[in-house]
Amino acid sequence: MHDLTSLNHPSPSNVSKIIGTVIAVQANFYQVRLDQPLKHHNHSSLSHLLCTRRTRLKKIGQTVMVGDRVIVEEPDYQDARGAIAQVLPRKTELSRPPVANAEQILLIFALDEPPLEPWQLSRFLVKAESTAIPFLLCLNKADLLTSTQQKTWHQRLEKWGYNSLLISVRTFQGLEALKDSLKEKITILAGPSGVGKSSLINTLIPAVEQRVNRVSGKLQKGRHTTRHVELFELPEGGLLADTPGFNQPHLDCSPSQLIHYFPEARQQLEQGTCQFSDCFHRGEPNCMVDRNWERYEHYLTFLEEAIAQQEATQQMADQESTVKVKMKASGQEYYEPKLESKKYRRTSRRQKHQNLQDLYENQSLEALEELEDDLDI
């Protein structure tokens, strides 16, 4: 490790408070972009450090995620290394994909090649709504549709409650407006495979070389090419995260909350409340949500999925509360019912003698002899 005085940070307090953002995580190493580049005595600077995590953080269960704001200690100028000593409080946190401090989500879909599927788009929108993070809806490959077709899709999505930005990576349509929306923010890029996410990153950040797979001609589907979450630095400022874990979103919301992730239904609920507090909005008496909106069938399908998932989770919890895992001598696991009441437990020797002492003090000798025979003492 090189002498810290070789850095242009003579104060130990300044060295201990080097702050940066984690832009990539691989195995047990973290790439950190520093807020203020470290200055060397030869006037060169260091803007990124490859860091490990302090053992203390591991012991307290502190994870480090892409997007985390961290304090780095012991910077090594020659090897560009350091150690993450502290993770600052997170503003937002997603587990799938694992990204911290995201300020917005950019949902990108293709209008054609592959064709835009309303059900798939609706699923992504519901997932984005459930995160409570603002998001933008971006429709790529607009050059493959006529202006009339583009307008039709735009109006259709307005009825769903969303404004959409139509772009074309090939012709650069709408890219300037998109760049303005991404400035100085941490943005999560999400969408199904084959819609042009990697191509968009290559266009927005020419210095990044993303692998781009061609869409399968037979299936009209793309093959996802990103393997881990990484933040890419935008030339105009801001960070863009490509997220492999968000190309097929998992709906993990509760059945009662699901309806609030549909703007067209949410607007109806603002007019009043349903007769029953546990209403699932499937035509129950005096329900405030009618059936005259396009995505009502989407809602019913997702609702059944949410109910089934909730029941499965409850069933698993019930099973875990009534059985315990035991291990045979062969190493094979098996389940054994838990004893829920003391009446099923064998009386301890200490308890037997306590009962005997009580009888000496309170009962007749005849009762004592009967108890001794019963307990076989």
Question: What confidence tens digit (pLDDT) does each residue in 245-281 have?
Answer: 566 678 888 999 999 999 999 999 998 889 998 899 9
Residue 375: is its pLDDT beyond 90? Answer: no
**Rounded CA separation 60/295 (Å):** 45
Residue 203 phi/psi, 5-degree rounding, is -75, -40
Task: Give the count of domains, the chain.
Answer: 4
239 and 294 inside one domain: no
Task: Give me the CATH number covering residue 233.
Answer: 3.40.50.300
**CB contact at 8 A, 82 and 19:** no
**Rounded CA separation 164/155 (Å):** 9
What percent of the chain has a predicted confidence (pLDDT) above 90? 55
Residue 358: is its pLDDT beyond 80? Answer: no
156 in any annotated domain: yes
Residue 6: is its pLDDT beyond 80? Answer: no
374 in any annotated domain: yes
Give tens-digit pLDDT for 299-310: 999 999 999 999
- Range in 58-67, 125-134, 238-247, 318-327 the model is least confident about: 318-327
125 and 147 inside one domain: yes
Question: What's the pLDDT at 302?
Answer: 96
366 and 296 inside one domain: no
Would you call 239 helix, strand, or coil by DSSP? strand
Torsion 360-365-366-368 (CA) sign: positive
pLDDT, mean of residues 200-208? 89
140 in any annotated domain: yes
pLDDT, mean of residues 325-331? 58
Range of the domain at 293: 255-319
340 in any annotated domain: no
338 in any annotated domain: no
Task: Give me the CATH number covering residue 42.
Answer: 2.40.50.140
> Model's pTM, two decimal places?
0.73
138 and 40 inside one domain: no
Domain finish residue from 55, 89, 123: 89
Q: pLDDT-based confidence at 353, cuts 50/70/90?
A: low
pLDDT, mean of residues 74-78? 84
Question: What's the pLDDT at 251?
Answer: 84
The 8-class DSSP code of residue 366 comes to H
More confident residue, 39 or 178: 178
297 and 368 inside one domain: no
pLDDT, mean of residues 341-354? 59
46 in any annotated domain: yes
**Rounded CA separation 79/89 (Å):** 28
Q: pLDDT-based confidence at 240, cuts 50/70/90?
A: very high
User: Residue 359 is encoded by which pair of tokens?
Assistant: 């009888």
**Rounded CA separation 90/373 (Å):** 68
153 and 241 inside one domain: yes
16 and 103 inside one domain: no
Q: pLDDT-based confidence at 212, cuts 50/70/90?
A: very low
Give tens-digit pLDDT for 224-234: 444 578 899 99
Which residues sit opposite 259 in a β-bridge? none
pLDDT, mean of residues 275-290? 92
**CB contact at 8 A, 17 and 69:** no
Residue 66: is its pLDDT beyond 90? Answer: yes
334 in any annotated domain: no
* Mean pLDDT score of the chain: 82
